[in-house]
Structure 1
């Protein structure tokens, strides 16, 4: 147990405490008509996959052998947007960070083609076909504690792994609102999870939601672990109990409860995928597009938009 193990937090857990967690999967159909096309989409600067991601990229075709695999690069991303969404092109070209372009691209790709989008640091642990059999659109959410201890609010959806049928109205709303939010300074607010969470809240209160629902999965399905880069911060924040809101105290109790030896379980038994929290957009990672392995050496019959 390391120095900053959440099991060592000073905060007390009441006898009647009910943790926020999922310990088993919901019921899924084992057969039937898929509501989402059999397509896996990933994006990178070029067709060379950096060595850091090679193992994780392979897992998608391993667990989805009869699904199409599409890789989207900087070059064909701009081509797709110019041909399918020309009104978005000036916004896309004006983004100051590559990650903002990558965020915008994934919304356009899923709207136009449908399927499952996964960041390169997402690792498939099993097939996501059960989700595609049950839902026509699904998005994951970050671990319960993340938004509470970062910003004191609940339920932050995240765009690192999403599945949806083509032309879903929620993704049209995302695309249509990108120009308005493009002036936001931080990537989380302009194109990332904060942007998508705001759009989801707006959409969930619209008349379209009943007919074209978006399922928000438990965080345990795709994000079974707390981001390692937040552990130090969360540990010391939780030990300053007098400075915490009621909601934050509950999140800290949740962290401690889940990490007590008697309550630990193998979260990968219910997870469909695992996010490795690589944070490619942050400056401390040196990744160049000319290094790595050509994607067609990793995935057979890879598809490239042209």
Structure 2
């Protein structure tokens, strides 16, 4: 075979290889875009999702949950500083989050907005919590650092921490006029159907005054829990739930006490079911004989909400909505579409 023939075949091989890579890349992009919209559709249709569940709703069934907000003061001195805290690895924000970030600014025009990047987070811990720096650097997953950071920031400054996939639906001002510390819980059906456990606190939105004893207890326990294998137990919702129970057992305080903790109903911050759980929950609920009484009740609750005649509107009393983006499970690749936080929030503050 002559030199020209070999060069020609080599060129064809390289072209085919490049085309194969391009096709693979395009297929991958199409798959994830399709998955994204499927999940969005499922989120919007999550109520109707359980309508065909083969489980009977008892005549006198009383659904779990609330349909009206409690009474809040309309004026007074805020018990929590008017600061929104969010975290991201740097100042370049994925486009999916822009509209949700702006929702917090629109609903809270007189609040400060602070972004904590990996760099500024480490600076804060090095400056003021140096005894935790080795632990912070040693975390094997970014989600653990993000979790730990929110507790440290709230203890140091106070305010309200919110995940990037949280959308503000109304102002949190009523809450900060009544409570000095509040946290939400996952939808009732999540922990019950998963583990037969009635309450699981979630740390995607937490509001507390500076130096609150509950947040101090979270910070103080980070080191001892850092050895836990799973991030849920080390820094996440399981950790928060466990420390909350410990705090409550030691401090029998009403929720509106200056050192109390208010656990908000899931309808306030987490009114919708995680779309990633829909198929799993439907499958579990379809096998009624394998469920506990508590789990059967949760499944009936899901079906009750799906019946149009029951007029259940998950967003009717919500202060915020969690979009269950699961950022910590995604590989957020660099993109030209990413936007500087300074182009999204003109008044953003970053720790230096």
Report if TM-score (shorter chain) is over 0.5: yes
Q: Which residue of the other structure, out of 242, 252, 255, is the alignment partner of 2:299?
A: 252
Bigger-Rg structure (1/2)? 2
Shift of 1:286: 3.4
C-alpha spacing 1:31/1:67, structure 2 compared with 1 (3 Å)? same
Q: How well do the aligned residues superpose, as a CA RMSD in angstroms?
A: 1.7
Aligned to 2:56: 12
Q: Residue 196 in 1 paired to residue 240 in 2? A: yes
Shift of 1:290: 7.5
Q: Which residue of the other structure, out of 218, 224, 232, is the alignment partner of 1:174?
A: 218
Aligned partners of 1:209 and 1:181: how far apart in 2? 25
Shift of 1:209: 4.1
State the Cα deviation string for residues 92-126 of structure 1 (Å, max 9, x = none).
11100001000000000000000110000000011
- Bigger share in helix: 2
Aligned partners of 1:13 and 1:138: how far apart in 2? 33
Q: Which runs of 5+ in 2 are unaligned?
A: 1-44
Q: Which residue of the other structure, out of 241, 254, 259, is the alignment partner of 2:288?
A: 241
Q: Residue 58 in 1 paired to residue 96 in 2? A: no
Q: Residue 120 in 1 paired to residue 164 in 2? A: yes
Q: Which residue of the other structure, out of 79, 86, 106, is the alignment partner of 1:35?
A: 79
Q: Residue 145 in 1 paired to residue 189 in 2? A: yes
State the Cα deviation string for residues 174-200 of structure 1 (Å, max 9, x = none).
011111111111111110001000000
State the Cα deviation string for residues 118-145 of structure 1 (Å, max 9, x = none).
0000000111000001110000000000
> Size of the alignment, in residue pairs?
305
Aligned to 2:206: 162
Shift of 1:269: 2.2
Aligned to 1:25: 69
Q: What secondary structure sits across from 1:7 in the alignment? A: coil
Q: Residue 276 in 1 paired to residue 323 in 2? A: yes
Q: Does the aligned pair in 2 maintain the 1:48–1:290 contact within 8 Å?
A: no
Q: Does the aligned pair in 1 maintain the 2:269–2:320 contact within 8 Å?
A: yes
State the Cα deviation string for residues 192-229 of structure 1 (Å, max 9, x = none).
00100000011011137455110000100011100000
Aligned partners of 1:29 and 1:139: how far apart in 2? 19
Aligned partners of 1:278 and 1:120: how far apart in 2? 9
Q: Does the aligned pair in 1 maintain the 2:47–2:305 contact within 8 Å?
A: no
Aligned partners of 1:219 and 1:162: how far apart in 2? 13
Q: Residue 220 in 1 paired to residue 264 in 2? A: no
Aligned to 2:153: 109
Q: Does the aligned pair in 1 maintain the 2:81–2:159 contact within 8 Å?
A: yes
What TM-score do you get using the length of structure 2 for normalisation?
0.84
Q: Does the aligned pair in 1 maintain the 2:48–2:307 contact within 8 Å?
A: no
- Correspondence 1:291-302 to 2 at 5 A: 292-302=338-348
Q: Which runs of 5+ in 1 are unaligned?
A: none
Aligned partners of 1:288 and 1:7: how far apart in 2? 40
Q: Does the aligned pair in 1 maintain the 2:46–2:273 contact within 8 Å?
A: no
C-alpha spacing 1:225/1:124, structure 2 compared with 1 (3 Å)? same
Aligned partners of 1:216 and 1:304: how far apart in 2? 29
Greater RCO structure (CA 8 Å; 6+ sep): 1
